[in-house]
Chains A and B, each alone.
Chain A
Amino acid sequence: MLLVPCPHCGPRNSADMSYQGEASSRPDPSSTTPTEWREYLYMKHNPAGWLRENWYCSSGCRRFFTVERHTVTSEFREPPLPGSKTPRPTGDGADPARGAP
């Protein structure tokens, strides 16, 4: 089981966390276009390499945080400091209408 580096709790089992998907920034809802908005809703980089992504420490401190993880080797790099500005998570996990994919 992967150890996810929560900036508050330290490394925790991934089962204690809730995955929130790729980090992306939310377009301004007052000026966005359908193409831009749906790109934000649905399109993914999905790289085989370093990915900026969001996690929610659901069984621990209950804080959202952003980390970079390598999607092939499962390494994390430079865990963020607590309180660092994190872009809003989007997609799969963040959306209460959708369960786990």
Chain B
Amino acid sequence: MPVRLSAVIRRSLAKRRLAPRYSGAGLLWRGVRNSSWPRVWREPPLKKSYDVVVIGGGVHGLATAYYLAANHGITDVAVLDKAYLGSGGSGRNTAIVRSNYLTPEGVAFYDRSLELYNTMSADLNLNVMFSERGHLTLAHTDSAVRTMRWRAEVNKLQNIDSSVIGPAEISRIAPSLDTSPNTRYPILAALYHPPGGTIRHDAVVWAYARAADAHGVDMHQKTEVIDITCEGGEGPDGKGPGAKVTGVCTSKGDVSARVVINCTAGWAGLIAAMAGLKLPITTHPLQAAVTEPVKVFLPTVVVSGSLHVYVSQTDRGELVFGASVDPFATYDMGGTLDFTEELAGHVLELMPAVSEMRLLRQWAGLCDITPDYSPVMGFTPVEGFLCDVGWGTYGFKAGPVSGEQLAKCVAEQATPELISPFALSRFDSGMLVGEKGAAAVGH
């Protein structure tokens, strides 16, 4: 475990590079002088040893590395990614952020995330284009209305701006929605969450990577973890419960480390297995699609749980769609035709006017689904091996706060309050998190 450092030493140790700051003025200056910007992050060689190795160069892994360095002065950190930064779920999600969850634990957690997203552009000096455009979750049945109200009431108690609104108000906010009562699934009400919105997902990845790099964190792309080395465990090769992690073997060489953090979403089970652990996780693809651009007409994020669809329009004019995860477990991200058919049917149910718009591209990401739709975070039965996994379809929203809390967890060697409900041990005691009650599709 890293040595605890006083705040003063920490500050002096934080090897912050002096990178030029991004700004409009800088852009003009470089435009006039025709000079280019420096590299956004370094490409350092892989060292033989790091204090902390983070597996997975997505939002979660990069945020963890950044906060380790920025908040706790732990800078001897490597982030490893088998492809390029943001190549997994971080670059494949539909970039929706919100905090109107069902359980107080969930709300508190995601609200902190939203707070971090809100100031991220300025904090990390890169415009992540956070668009606080409001978030509508439509209810088409009696019981859905009840669930929306449940969420709204829990949200209000935690000062989250969230309320149940009727068809007239929905129509005012998003005129393209068919709010007439004669559809197959009439829109009865919606949970309206004004602070929800969208963000440029890739920019979030780059912002954390750039900021972490400035603090001395090493990022290694195209560096695949092949094994995790342990000692003293019950299982073969000294792995499994009771073991202590000693490092990782990668496609570019072996690295010793005192702490190894698993931030690999859909691949989380495979990485955990390398440490001799089994997780309550099944990997399912979550598909998404985008249309050709048209002039902007949809001002908010629209989600329908019963119709398994969510849609928003980017500033570029494309409609971005998502749905629920694929029905069976697979690591294949090829995508399916049935997804696009069902999606289009449901979108047209909500917005008949877009039937002439064309689907341009579909893709899939891998989701790590847990039985209670809540993550697995923090310590595991293998000492020094921490997890930040099980995010299912909610991972992107939670990136900043997960990184912040996990960094705290590593630095203070204690589970922070905010993530204590998400411990792996809950599956041993059978005390699951109640987010399951409102699951279905909840983007």
Contacts and interface: CB of A to CB of B under 8 A. Distances in A.
* Direct contact between the two chains A and B in their complex (CB within 8 A): yes
A71 B330 contact: yes
B282 interface: yes
Interface string B267-287: 101100100001111111000
Contacts of B336: 1
Interface stretch (B39-47, B182-190, B321-329): B321-329
Contacts of A44: 269, 278-282
Interface in B242-296: 267, 269-270, 273, 278-284
Nearest to A92: B282
A73 B430 contact: no
Contacts of A43: 278-280, 427
| Interface residues on chain A, size class | 20 to 34
Interface string A15-46: 10011011000000000001100110111111
B428 interface: yes
B175 interface: no
Contacts of A98: 371, 436
Nearest to A42: B280
Interface string A42-76: 11111110010100000000000000000111100
A42 B329 CA distance: 15
Nearest to A41: B371
A101 to B, nearest CB: 5
B108 to A, nearest CB: 24
Contact of B284 (A48, A53, A101): A101
A100 interface: yes
A15 B280 CA distance: 26
Interface in A86-101: 91-92, 98-101
Nearest to A4: B328
B329 A45 contact: no
A42 B279 CA distance: 8
A38 B329 CA distance: 20
A23 to B, nearest CB: 12
Interface in B304-321: none
Contacts of A51: 329
B440 interface: yes
B157 interface: no
Which residue among A19, A35, A44, A101 has the maximum number of chain B CB atoms within 10 Å of its CB? Answer: A101
B327 A19 contact: yes
Contact of B338 (A1, A47, A73): A1
B134 to A, nearest CB: 28
A45 B278 contact: yes
B332 interface: yes
Contacts of A18: 327
A73 B330 CA distance: 9
B406 interface: no
A22 to B, nearest CB: 8
B337 interface: yes
Given A14-B328, A71-B330, A98-B371, 11 more contacts: A22-B282, A42-B280, A44-B282, A46-B329, A48-B267, A53-B329, A72-B331, A74-B330, A100-B325, A101-B282, A101-B369
Interface of B: 267, 269-270, 273, 278-284, 324-325, 327-332, 336-338, 369, 371, 392, 427-430, 436, 439-440
Top 4 A-B residue pairs of the complex, sorted by shortest distance between their CB atoms: A46-B269, A19-B328, A42-B280, A42-B427
20 contacts: A1-B336, A1-B337, A1-B338, A2-B328, A21-B282, A22-B329, A38-B427, A39-B278, A41-B371, A42-B371, A43-B280, A44-B281, A44-B282, A46-B282, A46-B283, A47-B270, A74-B332, A98-B371, A99-B440, A100-B327
